Structure 1
Amino acid sequence: MELTLDVAREVLAAQPFSVLLGARLTAFGSLAATLEIDVRPELLQQNGYLHGGVLAYAADNAITFAAGTALGPAVLTGGVTITYLAPGAGITLRAEAEVEHANSRQAACVCRLSMLSADGTVTLCALAQGTVRTVKL
């Protein structure tokens, strides 16, 4: 099966938690993937910023989808580290992940998480890195 943006979107749509968050893949292929989530009140923390858990989810999933472009569809996250840089303020979260290194069993990826504001301003709010491993299904 060829891994395309449409196939990746089907995989994302089969994840109930991703559906709950309203996540969508906007790019997939060439060792990269981009995932976006529109901000809604129930995704905010007590100070009105996007909850860090939503950012961590987005990093994890974007990294895993990016790795899938190198390793194929049978993958699971091995680990993710995230560093928060600025509050998540804006209307849309964008997680852009790229494969930095891959072999036949594992990929190491990086992810930039940015908030887009209504006026078009883009603010980098977190950086993440992670590893993804192949699995036997």
Structure 2
Amino acid sequence: MNVYSPNLELARMVLDSQPFSMYLGARLTAFGDGGATLELDIRDELRQQNGFVHGGVLSYAADNALTFAAGTVVGPAVLTAGYSIDYLRPARGEVLRAHAQVVRPGRTRVVCRCDLFTVDSEGNQTLCAVAQGTIAVAETALPEPVE
């Protein structure tokens, strides 16, 4: 029986300890019940040459959301084992939202899926990519972030 209890504030501290996440301005807006939602504001530096959000930014958001979702059921000692992403349409809008949900929690691996949306200024969501990932449960606790 799993005794881990998800904590949004602790999860936000973990996200805030990632320099790249801070650069992107990523924030966790939901964490618990087998799911996690990560958001970031879309700004010009995150776009590719055609004005769409760069695929690497969508990939980052999927990777982190998948891992945080897994962490809601097995705790913080998790690492991405692998994931795939399918880009469905160009990402444009005000906010990128990645919502991941656990599909199957296991003892050593957690399978999750993620839907990535762009949100416009009126709050309308458009699905732009989907991802699926396998998250490894680390055998030992991960080291504390260095401040």
TM-score, normalised by the number of residues in structure 1? 0.97
1:70 matched to 2:73? The reply is yes
Correspondent of 2:109 among 106, 110, 113: 106
Distance 2:34 2:126 in 1: 24
Letter in 1 for 2:30: A
Letter in 1 for 2:21: S
Distance 1:106 1:34 in 2: 20
**Structure 2: unaligned runs, 5 residues or longer:** 143-147
Most deviating of 120-129 and 25-34: 120-129
Contact 1:71 1:105 in 2 (8 A): no
- CA shift at 1:2, angstroms? 4.5
Q: 1:117-128 residue pairs with structure 2 within 5 A?
A: 117-128=120-131
Letter in 2 for 1:24: R
- CA shift at 1:3, angstroms? 3.0
SS of the aligned residue for 1:8 comes to helix
Match of 2:43 in 1: 40
Distance 1:56 1:28 in 2: 19
Equivalent pairs counted in the alignment come to 137
* Sequence identity (%): 56
Letter in 2 for 1:16: P
Match of 1:83 in 2: 86
- CA shift at 1:43, angstroms? 0.4
Distance 2:24 2:83 in 1: 19
Match of 1:9 in 2: 12
**Structure 1: unaligned runs, 5 residues or longer:** none
Distance 2:34 2:131 in 1: 16
Q: Residues 73-132 of structure 1, C-alpha deviation per residue, up to 9 Å, x if partnerless?
A: 101000010000010110000000000001121100000000001122211000000010
What is the root-mean-square deviation in Å for CA atoms of aligned residues?
A: 1.0
Correspondent of 2:25 among 22, 25, 32: 22
